Amino acid sequence: MKVLALLGSPRRNGNTSLLLDQYLKGITAANKDVKITRIFLQEKKIQNCSACEACRKTTIGKCTIKDDMQELYPLFWKADMVIYATPVYWWGVSAQLKAFMDRCYALGLIEDSFAGKKVTLLMTYGGELPNKGPGLIKTAFAEICDYKNMDLVHVYGVCTDDYMPAAENTKALNDVYEMGMNV
Ligand SMILES: Cc1cc2nc3c(=O)[nH]c(=O)nc-3n(C[C@H](O)[C@H](O)[C@H](O)COP(=O)(O)O)c2cc1C
């Protein structure tokens, strides 16, 4: 199984990173035959989609913007599972993750570039529930997965700032570890 793990937080060692790592540890513990590629999106050069539509009209399936997405496209395409880990920013995903997702528009005409993948969504957020941010992102991912015939296997969110840092949240760390083991 090939897993592409995307860290959407700009903080390399923040809450979202920790949550992602626990989930990956769970996957590794339970699956011997797994290849995980973990990408820290913040350090990648990913321009915003320019909506030039070349990927749909001329280059079909290929984005003409020459940046780090060119190395990420094959990783996404070949992945059996994609893990999206993001802090909630303004009731949505981080800009780093959104840029990646928008650029995946280029793969839209390639058959099976999305279909059949397992998807996991991990979120951290500052405001305690009821906080509509995580729910809105979950709804968006459910729609995306439905549209692209992907299987949203796990969704997990945890409050950090107003509650406690993920590093001290034993329950959250155990929860995601066990979720990872059940991939
Ligand atoms: C630009 C920005 C926007 C944010 N917007 C929200 C928000 O809309 N809702 C929320 O609950 N927390 C919000 N937060 C708090 C973060 O989601 C929270 O601190 C998160 O755990 C940070 O993850 P990290 O430790 O990986 O950086 C925001 C933080 C930043 C920096």
Domain ranges of the chain: 2-181
State the average pLDDT for the chain.
96
CA R_g for the chain:
16
Q: Domain 2-181: which topology?
A: Rossmann fold (3.40.50)
CA of 91 to the centre of ligand 1 (A): 9
Confidence of residue 56 (pLDDT cuts 50, 70, 90): very high
Find out whether the beta carbon of 143 lies less than 6 Å from any atom of ligand 1. Answer: no
Report which DSSP code applies to 92. Answer: B
Greatest Cα pair distance, the chain, in angstroms, is 51
User: 160 CB less than 6 Å from ligand 1?
Assistant: yes
pLDDT number for residue 110: 87
Query: Which ligand 1 atom is at minimum distance from the Cα of 127?
Result: 11
pLDDT value of position 112: 85
Half-sphere exposure of 37 (CA within 13 A, CB side): 17
Give the residue, by CA position, lying nearest to ligand 1 atom 12: 126
- Which pLDDT value is given to residue 147? 96
The model's confidence at residue 161, banded by pLDDT at 50, 70 and 90, is confident
Q: How far apart are CA 29 and CA 173, in angstroms?
A: 15
Site to substitute for ligand 1 among 7, 22, 42, 88, most atoms within 8 A of C-beta: 88
Comparing 13-17, 45-49, 161-165, the range with the smallest average pLDDT is 161-165
161 in contact with ligand 1, CB cutoff 6 A: yes
Model pLDDT for residues 98-149, shown as the tens digit of each residue? 999 999 999 998 888 999 999 999 999 999 999 999 999 999 999 999 999 9
Q: What is the pLDDT of residue 23?
A: 98
Closest CA to 122 of 27, 6, 44: 6
- Asked whether 158 lines ligand 1 (CB < 6 A), one says no
- pLDDT-derived band at 164 (thresholds 50, 70, 90) equals confident
